[in-house]
Amino acid sequence: MNDSLDRPTLVFDGDCSFCRAWIEYWQKITGERVLYAPYQEVGERFPNLPQKDFTSAVTLFLPGGEVRSGAHAVFSLLALLPGETWMLWLYAHLPGFALITELAYRVVARNRSFCYWVTRALWGIPIEVESFSTASWLFLRTLGAVYLFAFASFALQATGLIGSHGISPVAEYLHSLREYYGAVYWEAPTVFWLGASDGMIKAVGIAGICLSALLLLGLRWRILRIVLFVLYLSLVTAGQEFMGYQWDALLLEAGFLAILLGSSPIVVWLYRWLLFRLMFLSGVVKLASGDPSWRNLTALPVHYETQPLPTPLAWYMYQLPEWFQRASVGFVFFVELAVPFLIFTPRRVRLFAAGAMVALQVLILLTGNYAFFNLLTIGFCLFLI
Question: What pLDDT does residue 109 have?
Answer: 92
Question: What pLDDT does residue 4 have?
Answer: 61
Question: What pLDDT does residue 34 have?
Answer: 92
285 or 180, which is more confident?
285
Q: Check pLDDT > 80 for residue 46.
A: no
Residues 18 and 119: beta-carbon distance below 8 Å: yes
Question: What pLDDT does residue 308 have?
Answer: 82
Q: Check pLDDT > 80 for residue 369.
A: yes
How far is residue 201's CA from residue 352's CA, in Å, rounded to a whole number? 44
Q: How confident is the model at residue 151 (pLDDT cuts 50, 70, 90)?
A: very high
Tally of residues, the chain: 385
Q: Check pLDDT > 60 for residue 70.
A: yes
Give the pLDDT confidence of 103-132 residue by residue, as tens digits: 999 999 999 999 999 999 999 889 988 888
Q: How far is CA 299 from CA 288, 303, 322, in A?
A: 14, 6, 11
Judge if the upstream peptide bond of residue 126 is cis by omega within 30 degrees of 0.
yes
> CA Rg, the chain, in Å?
28
Q: Check pLDDT > 60 for residue 293.
A: yes
Q: Check pLDDT > 80 for residue 71.
A: yes
- Give the residue-averaged pLDDT of 129-139: 90
Q: What is the pLDDT of the chain when averaged over all its residues? A: 91
Q: How confident is the model at residue 53 (pLDDT cuts 50, 70, 90)?
A: confident
How far is residue 200's CA from residue 164's CA, in Å, rounded to a whole number? 11
- Give the residue-averaged pLDDT of 195-218: 94
Question: What pLDDT does residue 56 have?
Answer: 87
Question: What pLDDT does residue 216 have?
Answer: 96
Angle between helices 222-239 and 198-216 (to 10 degrees): 140
Q: Which range, 63-67, 81-85, 182-186, 226-230, is most confident?
A: 226-230
How far is residue 326's CA from residue 301's CA, in Å, rounded to a whole number? 10
Residues 354 and 381: beta-carbon distance below 8 Å: yes
Give the pLDDT confidence of 234-258 residue by residue, as tens digits: 999 998 889 888 899 999 999 999 9
309 or 336, which is more confident?
336
Of the ranges 88-102, 153-167, 216-230, 275-289, which one carries the lowest mean pLDDT score? 153-167
- Report pTM: 0.86
Question: What pLDDT does residue 83 have?
Answer: 78
- Give the residue-averaged pLDDT of 12-37: 92
Please name the residues in contact with 171: beta carbons below 8 A apart, sequence gap of 6 or more: 164, 192, 196, 197
Residue type at 175 in one-letter notation: H
371: left (phi over 0), alpha (psi -120 to 50) or beta: left
Residues 333 and 299: beta-carbon distance below 8 Å: no
Q: How confident is the model at residue 49 (pLDDT cuts 50, 70, 90)?
A: confident
- Give the residue-averaged pLDDT of 280-284: 95
Q: How far is CA 93 from CA 75, 81, 102, 109, 160, in A?
A: 13, 19, 15, 24, 62
- Give the residue-averaged pLDDT of 82-100: 93
Longest dimension (CA), the chain: 88
- Give the residue-averaged pLDDT of 253-264: 93
- Give the residue-averaged pLDDT of 257-267: 91
Q: Check pLDDT > 70 for residue 2.
A: no
